Chains A and B, each alone.
Chain A
Amino acid sequence: MEKENNNLEKPSNRRNFLKVGLIAGGSIAAGTLAISNILSCNKKEGSGVKRTVFTQDGKVYTTDQSHLQDFEVPPVSNDEARKGIPNKKFVMVIDEAKCDGCKKCTEACQKMHYTESDREWIKVFKMQDANATAPYFFPKPCFHCDNPPCTKVCPVNATFKRQDGIVLIDNVRCIGCRSCMVACPYSTRFFNWSAPIEQPELEGMTYSPEKGIPRRMGTVEKCDFCPDMIRQGKMPACVSGCPMDAIYFGDQNEDAVTNASGVTVKFSQLLEDNAGYRHLEELGTEPRVYYLPPKNRKYPKPDMNNIDKKKAGKPVVKDLDMGNMQM
């Protein structure tokens, strides 16, 4: 709550970024709150914390925090999931100067998607382009390319590009030919080689391509930009999980991107000021993920002499409180 209140004071957060779902939440645009007992709010003792929320039809209410309860946004239909969120063009900016290679984004992502530790939907590489150039950390999610090599080769339209720019996989339709995996130049896709590990939390969960879980054996999975979180008005897990504020996410149509601390900046300005670029531009895949070069790095550079092809041990997925990380 502390954090949310802090956010309230930031004018940059007052825009209606991601006003989707049944009820988009308050001035901090959190969508998972529903007003309970709004008509009989007098009966209840208030907690003293006032929240301003507005409904989807644009009406604004100011009500006590205690009158709000979490509301589960139901998964959208397959047709809806294939169309995407109207009038959006999602875009991500990753600032290499701010990344210290802590892999918190990977952990947050793995926790959010109940991923096995060997699959890193966002993976932090240690990169060095040439011997004399500076090494840098390079967090790499799916690039959600505008000219995606992966969706082109899919024989059954199980992986598809949506109008909001996101590339998703429908694991109910996927036949497991892995054409998309060999077509992706960024090694972004993972295959469920064996039956997914059973997790009690996942039981009874309805599948949607937007959520990607429950997993199915013999199908492909990858980073999905967390569209289920976006629909709830929240940030993708990696963005809100980045303690260094290195990852920005937003809507290119609005020309605004926001990081974990809730700082919203102009997307075009950010790229212009920092000489933003896209990885392997020459491949012509038109990624929707932009990078800012590691100029005036805030943290030590990666040790390039200490890169192992193989993993020393399985990383421990730490408990992260995702609920607090709202935009």
Chain B
Amino acid sequence: MVNERLNLEKEIETVREDCLKPTRKWGRSTKIWIGCLLIVIAWGLYCYIHQLRAGLGVTAMRNYVSWGLYISTFVFFIGISHSGTLVSAILRITKQEWRRPITRSAELLTFVSLLFGGIMPIIDLGRPDRIANLVIFGRVQSPLMWDIISICTYFVGSSVFLFLPMIPDMALCRDRLTVCDTRFRKFKKWLYTKMAIGWKGTKSQWHRLEKSMTVMTIIIIPVAVSVHTVVSYIFAMTLRPGWNSTVFGPYFVAGALYSGSAGVILGMAAFRKLYHLEKYITPRHFDLMGRLVLALTLIYAYLNLNEYWIPAYKMATAEGHLLRDLFSGSYSIVFWTLQFGTVLLPIIILSIPKGRKPLMLAITCIIIVLGAWVKRYIIVVPTLLHPFMPIQEVPGDWSSYFPNYVEFSVTAAALAGIFLVITLFSKMFPMMAVWEVEDGIKIEHDKQRAIDIRIQREAEEARSRALETDPGIQPIKPDIIIG
């Protein structure tokens, strides 16, 4: 029995060390990676300042396509932010044990992509200096205001959702800091102490943590659904062909879940490789996440069918012009590549067990994530190029759109910002919820023990039955059976 407990403690100790290891040293490759990200961000900032000074005219946007890459990226980032809620909250609520090693990275992805997703429309503003007008003169009737309200709510909610399960881990970091950490020791000590907010691991503290986690889990799901619904409303509340669609809310939510959970798998794969977490994030996790993405892709494909097949059957005037351009016109190659390459192909790959192996799944998820990004662009831009009034005798650059270097640079900087925050986070805090994984091990252990005890009891019963019939057999010590 003592042996057993020792084993358990040893196991837990390995978990703790494996989780804390990446926060202890900054390798050379980490520094180079961060340096590269900072260069991309600096260049993006330079381009943004240029845009601020000279106006949005430095982008490729013009009067017909007045929303372009920035708004498409906004929708995409907000979509990716759905991952955290889905994996973390839904799997928590359904008590899926295998969620434990991946909740932290999923919640982090939500937090970061929401942060940068929320910045994108501000980058897109003609007058960001007047942003206070949203408070002073804000109109709650405007879909844009719904976006602001729900994104802010979701941001606060997902911050809390990320922070709550971090508290015990922060206490762990705080307590172990003195042993190994050398870099920024003082700062780290201060930070971990603040973030642990006096966590001692008492029974009442655990009770309160679990209670608030349950409350947050329930609250965050409808908030997340509302976010992507109202993001779709900034399009669906207009009369424009292609946007004037009642299926847009669920269509966007499904698209968000499909791209977001693929994003989680990419995060899982990256951290598993970089931080050597193969022991915790196993092929089984990839298999199960692969099944989840498959289910979400099927839902997304179903909504895609509704979104395009219903108007395509009718081919109403304005809608027909747009659909003709998508199906067989200037956007047809991109459109069909998206439909077959990033919806149908993943469905086929994910249906095969081999397609849910870590490497294959990661490749599929890259396709899904990139496809979701381009899809947002295909939702935003072609509609704007097919207004009700014909495009006649306008300056050449009005009647077409492709993002220019300013938009690409600023968007790349936002993406680099996401990577940077994730990298810094993973170098400061454990990327797995240590206590949750511990709990998982303990639960496993208890289960194992229960099984052992049952085996033991059954063995004893069998022996006593045997003894009754043949008293000549010597009783065997139970410890030997357990081993």
Contact = CB atoms under 8 A, between A and B. Distances in A.
Interface of A: 118-119, 123, 125-127, 140, 149, 152-158, 173-179, 181-183, 185-187, 189-195, 216-220, 280, 283, 285, 307-312
A193 B54 CA distance: 9
Contacts of B124: 177-178
B66 A156 contact: no
B148 to A, nearest CB: 8
Contacts of B399: 309-310
B392 A193 contact: no
A280 B387 CA distance: 12
B419 interface: no
A176 B396 contact: no
Given A177-B144, A182-B66, A218-B55, A187 B389 contact: yes
A218 B396 contact: no
Contacts of A149: 238-239
Contacts of B126: 174-178, 191-192, 217-220
Contact of B67 (A178, A216, A280): A178
Given A156-B137, A186-B389, A193 B125 contact: no
Interface stretch (B127-135, B370-378, B423-431, B457-465): B127-135
A139 B63 CA distance: 19
A104 to B, nearest CB: 16
Contacts of A174: 126-127, 130
8 contacts: A155-B144, A175-B126, A182-B384, A187-B387, A191-B63, A193-B56, A193-B62, A310-B399
A195 B145 CA distance: 27
Interface in B221-259: 234-235, 237-240
Interface in B389-409: 389-396, 398-399
A35 B392 CA distance: 48
B440 interface: no
Nearest to B121: A177
Contacts of B63: 119, 181, 187, 189-191
B283 interface: no
Nearest to A314: B395
B143 interface: yes
Interface centre among A173, A179, A216, A307 (most CB of B within 10 A): A179
Contacts of A285: 239
A5 B142 CA distance: 51
B394 A311 contact: yes
B139 interface: yes
Nearest to B389: A187
A182 B137 contact: no
Interface in B63-117: 63-64, 66-67
B141 A309 contact: no
Contact of A154 (B57, B142, B235, B240): B142
Given A152-B142, A193-B57, A175 B66 contact: no
Contacts of A181: 63, 66
B134 A127 contact: no
B237 A183 contact: yes
B392 A176 contact: no
Contact of A185 (B388, B390, B393): B388
B61 interface: yes
Q: Which 6 A-B pairs have the closest CB atoms?
A: A176-B126, A218-B126, A193-B57, A194-B57, A155-B142, A155-B144
A192 B237 CA distance: 24
Contact of A182 (B58, B125, B145, B240): B240
A196 B139 CA distance: 28
A152 B121 CA distance: 19
A181 B67 CA distance: 9
Given A155-B134, A173-B137, A175-B134, A187 B54 contact: no
A118 B394 contact: yes
A177 B125 CA distance: 5
Given A123-B392, A193-B56, A217-B55, 18 more contacts: A118-B395, A153-B234, A154-B142, A175-B125, A175-B128, A176-B56, A176-B127, A178-B126, A179-B142, A181-B63, A182-B240, A183-B239, A191-B66, A194-B54, A194-B56, A220-B126, A308-B393, A311-B394
B138 interface: yes
Interface string B269-282: 00000000000000
B195 to A, nearest CB: 35
A271 to B, nearest CB: 22
B61 A193 contact: yes
